[in-house]
Amino acid sequence: MATAGVRVLLYTTDFCVMKKRPLPVTILAILLAAAGMVGLIYHLTEIKSLHPFPWDVLWVSVVRVVAIVAGVFMLRGRNWARWLAIVWIGFHVGISAFHSTRELVMHALLLAVFAYFLFRRAANSYFRSSLR
């Protein structure tokens, strides 16, 4: 699985280097960005010009935008974006603590999957090569 992936160009000050993106990183980044976009579109339909303004929808939309940013910049190989993704899913684990046990367990499992794939050797190499 370490050989599967997508090649991306990383520009350094001296030359252009091809660095292979691990397939799990690609999949997680695309899923994260897609979930953020779908959720953002869904929740923005709830904003109406009613009073009072639905501030909860605004905060949920911000969380969705964070998912989009994390996913897009993970595809670009930014190390901070994988940490943002971990914080994002960790935030969901925290929120799930106030909901059902099933929801908490599912988010905790997702956090474990994210951490496992985003901090493997191939992923570390991919994100380390683009530290800026």
In a domain, 128, yes or no: no
Q: Into how many domains does the chain fold?
A: 1
In a domain, 14, yes or no: no
pLDDT given for residue 15 in this prediction: 45
Residue type, 66: V
- Residue-range definition of the domain harbouring residue 41: 23-46+55-123
pLDDT given for residue 118 in this prediction: 96
Neighbouring-strand partners of residue 18? 9
The whole-angstrom separation of Cα 71 and Cα 80 is: 11
Reading the chain (132 residues) residue by residue, the pLDDT tens digits are 444 555 555 554 444 454 789 999 999 999 999 999 999 998 877 776 666 777 778 888 899 999 999 999 999 999 999 999 999 999 999 999 999 999 999 999 999 999 999 999 999 999 987 665
pLDDT given for residue 1 in this prediction: 45
In a domain, 15, yes or no: no
pLDDT given for residue 7 in this prediction: 54
Other Cβ atoms within 10 Å of 79 Cβ, number: 18
In a domain, 16, yes or no: no
Other Cβ atoms within 10 Å of 114 Cβ, number: 19
Upstream peptide bond of 52 is cis (omega within 30 degrees of 0): yes
In a domain, 12, yes or no: no
